[in-house]
A and B are shown apart, each in its own frame.
Chain A
Amino acid sequence: MNSLKSHQVAETEPKVWYKAAKIHDFPMDGGACVKYKGLQIAVFNFNTGKEWYACQNLCPHKMQMILSRGLTGSQGDEPKVACPYHKKTFSLKSGVCLNDEIEAISTFPVKVDDDYVYIGFSQ
């Protein structure tokens, strides 16, 4: 389940832009889960679909596929998601855990084009 770590994407342009689903398929100001190859990716939007983030669906605290069902929010200017199980919160920009010393999660770039949401992967 930890294989997601290898998908850490730097600022470089991703090799693959995966066309995930229509904007309308995602809940506004919330999250949903996208399947890409064998992976589960949590995708969130803020400001009624104007701001998008993606990260691994796996919460590293108890290894549960759950983050897409977490509550989103902000800490200062940092967008974040809180795991439903034990409220561990992670930055959706850096992936860093904001309220515990847990390893960071992987994040992925997101773009919106012609009503569709795309997630960037390195392979």
Chain B
Amino acid sequence: MTRIIVVGNGMVGYKFCEKLRKDFDASQVALTVYGEEPRPAYDRVHLSSYFSGSTAEDLLMAPRTWYEDNDIELRTSELVTEIDRKNKKITTHKGSEESYDYLVLATGSSAFVPPIKGVEKDGVFVYRTIEDLNQILSYGKNLKEAAVLGGGLLGLEAAKALLDMNLNPYVVEFADRLMPRQLDDSGSDILKMKLESLGIQILTGKATQDIAGNGKLEGLSFADGSQLDVEMLVISAGIRPRDELAKSSGLATHERGGVLVNDGMQTNDPSIFAIGEVACHRDMIYGLVAPGYEMAEVVINQILGDKTQSFKGFDMSTKLKLIGVDVGSFGNPFGNNETTKPLIYKNDQEGIYRRLNITPDGKYITGGILVGDADDYNILHQMVQNKIKIPGSPGSLLVRSNGSDEGASLGIESLPDEAVICSCENISKGDVSNLVKADESCSLDDIKSNTKACTGCGGCTPMVNDIMKMTLKSMGKTVKNTVCEHFDFSRQELYDLIKINGIKSFQELVHAHGTGHGCEICKPLTASLLASIYNEPAIVHDTIQDTNDRFLANIQRGGTYSVIPRIPGGEITADKLLVIAQVAKKYELYTKITGGQRIDLLGARLDQLPPIWEELIAAGFESGHAYAKSLRTVKSCVGSVWCRYGVQDSVSFAIRVEDRYKGLRSPHKIKGAVSGCIRECAEAQSKDFGIIATEKGWNLYVCGNGGSRPQHALLLANDVDTETCIKLIDRFLMYYIKTAAPLTRTATWLNKLDGGLDYLKEVVVNDSLGIAEKLELEMQGLIDNYECEWKRAIEDPELRKKFAHFVNSDEQDSGISFMDMRGQKVPTAW
């Protein structure tokens, strides 16, 4: 049995254990890991997520039990202080000793603290461990201004963390540009512009000379004489390999730090190896995890395998999302004036920069830089790695491929099987496609758990997904988002089938185009499609509706329903308020104001719904469709009629829009809002469509969303007049209704739309598909067909009968019970 000790329990140290245990169990290799930090290895790459809600537990590479389950002795809070190379033995700071056959140094690095006067002052931190983060969090609690020293990858991550703490962050960089190792001046300019628009101030070309303050940091002064008042400083100016243990044990180290290793990651002691950020390979220290993971694999092969694997240096290409800004840098990002020519696209307006270094014959890319939009990173990076010929003219690469026809020529099909798709785990295209070939039913999750692809940085997920689909396609399988086992069609295809064949019911559809009796997925979906196409009231197809649509009310705990009458724009007269109050009193309903400026009446029994609605409708109310995947509300502020700031009459416009789209069935609920001025009191930018008044007209925003994953709406058109605004909403909503997947809000729909907002603008505003008029006509057809479904339900005795609890008795459901809370009734807990 071989005894291996790993010194250091960071990401690379952990990966060594994981990779080793994959092939060798405890009977073959005894494995001990020492870590000086109190907790097991955690994900340092995503450290900044600690500030936006992740816990230390979330960041763990694996819980303690994983080490136990894999027979790995994990000794945390224990620092190895001595290596007795002669006797092959280590000693820890607790005095305990352990002998080894092989020792793997994975001690990583510490933050480099430049020798600046005053770095010892309170309020100066480094950004490296969870303990550092805890200190930053507690010190920065009530501060306003904070600076990060270092504008590299980690420094910008740290700046994001400060932003998440609601501080005003400044980034101070010594070089003339941000991310000097990855970006050129123009790329840095665009990144700087984008970050500044997000609230991060960037100071480049600043040599920090002095940290001012009496015991506690108060500001920075720079070599050019300027000063910056800040209350906290986070240093992220590079790393320094933790090679002190190696040094004191007499191992060879580099003069600038790092344990010297050969191509087999072996130090000058054949029993000792070094991996990760502490290893210095051919004068290079690698500060990324992917090369560290590969080093770990090389060492396992050297100690336990056939010694054929070696480390040959590593591609330093990176792609990341910095505070929402995509940045990619790959191959040789800066090019070489003699052998390559740069092709450059720079768009200051939208904050996009693309630089591609092309060989003089125009055939190959050697590297490049992407800022603002890095969607093509994977494919461009692969073209560099695999020396793939540029299809067509190099200039075509400067514009982002749309994923559609043009993208196909740039597509993954052209990659060889050896192309590495996931560099964190070293997974090739062939690894993924072979897995799919072996089991065609395998899902993306299966691929992830089988290969570990996508589990590191996650950047390869779209490519892995594409390879899976492509492989299935090459096997003659069509990959479709079919709705369920009863239909071999997508929502969009079912929409077309119903429309083209004039299908009017679920039974007709399932007999003609499906199998079985349908289910809780395809039935409501069909109901929604029938409604979107013919705009018939939901109650016509009651038995294929979810319970809310079937009974035109929202089911609540205890089996009762809630009632929400429409209150367009949130405007209501005192008389109508009185009616709501009288109904609530008469039927003993719990009342609550909703988030959409209307009133919810809860606790109605099924059989009470028709009489309640009879009274509401008699007073002029209509269904509010709160139960439906349909237009909910169009919220408004009081606007220019009352408000001293208002520039347009937002209430009148909101009422007009709500009346226009009420009852419109769609893939998911739709919410709108109209604000009367730039102050945006109606919160229009969080709605599926939001309208904000300007001096000249209206700005139209689309695809915003509250809920679990909030997303701001994006500007579709600005300063349009009222009629144009309505036309654009008509087209936008109709296009969404026709093309979105089931239960997809507009925000998610847009996120998945090839070409994103630009494409949507082309279709909706510029009519690039030539369908605008058709969309408007279809919308008008639906609007003309509107009727209040509750009015129909109470007037038709047959429909009204459906609201009885029993078919064979007039009795009420005896199972319903209530209790009192703050003077109103609520259902008893379930």
Contacts and interface: CB of A to CB of B under 8 A. Distances in A.
Interface of A: 1, 20-21, 25-35, 40, 43, 46-48, 62-66, 69-76, 79-80, 82, 84-85, 87, 89
21 contacts: A21-B807, A26-B807, A27-B802, A29-B543, A31-B543, A32-B807, A34-B807, A35-B808, A35-B809, A35-B811, A62-B830, A64-B557, A66-B559, A73-B518, A73-B520, A74-B486, A76-B485, A76-B516, A84-B547, A89-B519, A89-B520
A74 B546 CA distance: 16
Contact of A73 (B523, B550, B802): B523
Interface in B810-828: 811, 813, 815
Contacts of B550: 69
B559 A74 contact: no
Given A1-B815, A71-B524, A84-B555, A33 B806 contact: yes
Nearest to A29: B543
A34 B524 CA distance: 24
Given A64-B558, A73-B520, 10 more contacts: A25-B807, A27-B543, A29-B507, A29-B543, A31-B543, A33-B805, A46-B517, A48-B507, A65-B559, A74-B519
What 8 A-B pairs have minimum CB-CB distances, sorted nearest first? A30-B543, A73-B519, A84-B547, A82-B520, A74-B517, A74-B516, A65-B815, A71-B520
B551 interface: yes
A34 B808 contact: yes
A48 B511 CA distance: 13
B691 interface: no
B778 interface: no
Contacts of B184: none
Contacts of A26: 807
A74 to B, nearest CB: 4
Contacts of B486: 73-74
Contacts of B516: 73-74, 76
Interface of B: 485-486, 506-507, 516-520, 522-524, 542-547, 550-551, 555, 557-559, 802, 805-809, 811, 813, 815, 830
Nearest to A58: B815
Contacts of A74: 486, 516-519
Contacts of A63: 830
A106 B808 CA distance: 20
A69 B547 contact: yes
Contacts of B813: 40, 65
A33 B806 CA distance: 5
A91 B188 CA distance: 61
A76 B543 CA distance: 20
A25 B798 CA distance: 10
Contacts of B546: 71, 84
A35 B815 CA distance: 12
Contacts of A25: 807-808
A11 B327 CA distance: 68
Contacts of A75: 485, 519
Contacts of A64: 557-559, 815, 830
Contacts of B805: 33
B399 to A, nearest CB: 45
B808 A70 contact: no
A84 to B, nearest CB: 4
Contacts of B522: 73
Given A29-B543, A48-B507, A64-B830, A85 B808 contact: no
Contacts, number: 95
Central interface residue in A1, A32, A43, by most chain B CB within 10 Å: A32
A21 B807 CA distance: 7
Nearest to B805: A33
A70 B523 CA distance: 11
A25 to B, nearest CB: 5
A70 B558 contact: no
Contacts of A48: 507
Given A1-B815, A75-B485, A20 B520 contact: no
Contacts of A71: 519-520, 523-524, 543-546
A64 B829 CA distance: 11
A33 B815 CA distance: 13
B186 to A, nearest CB: 53
A42 B784 CA distance: 39
A35 B811 CA distance: 9
B41 to A, nearest CB: 35
Nearest to A82: B520
Contacts of B547: 66, 69-70, 84
Contacts of A34: 806-808
B553 to A, nearest CB: 11
Contact of B815 (A30, A31, A40): A40
A93 B431 CA distance: 44
Nearest to A38: B814
A28 B520 contact: no
A31 B807 CA distance: 10
A47 B54 CA distance: 51
B484 to A, nearest CB: 9
Contacts of B520: 70-71, 73, 82, 87, 89
Contacts of B811: 35
Contacts of B523: 71, 73
Contact of B807 (A20, A65, A85): A20
A82 B519 contact: yes
Contacts of B519: 71, 73-75, 80, 82, 89
A80 to B, nearest CB: 7
Nearest to A30: B543
A85 B813 CA distance: 17
A27 B546 CA distance: 15
A69 B518 contact: no
A84 B546 CA distance: 7
Nearest to B558: A64
Contacts of B518: 73-74
Contacts of B802: 27
A55 B742 CA distance: 30
Contact of A28 (B543, B807, B808, B830): B543
B542 A27 contact: yes
A45 to B, nearest CB: 10
A1 B828 CA distance: 15
B761 to A, nearest CB: 38
A10 to B, nearest CB: 25
A50 to B, nearest CB: 12
Nearest to B809: A35
Nearest to B810: A35
A105 B524 CA distance: 24
A26 B815 CA distance: 22
A76 B550 CA distance: 25
Nearest to A51: B517
Given A35-B806, A74-B516, A69 B830 contact: no
A83 to B, nearest CB: 9
B52 to A, nearest CB: 30
Contacts of B517: 46-47, 72-74, 79
A97 to B, nearest CB: 14
Contacts of A69: 547, 550-551, 555
Central interface residue in A46, A73, A87, by most chain B CB within 10 Å: A73
Central interface residue in B507, B558, B806, by most chain A CB within 10 Å: B806
Contacts of A32: 806-807
Contacts of A28: 543
A14 to B, nearest CB: 18
A27 B551 CA distance: 13
Contacts of B558: 64
A115 to B, nearest CB: 14
B829 to A, nearest CB: 10
A31 B485 CA distance: 22
A58 B336 CA distance: 74
A107 to B, nearest CB: 17
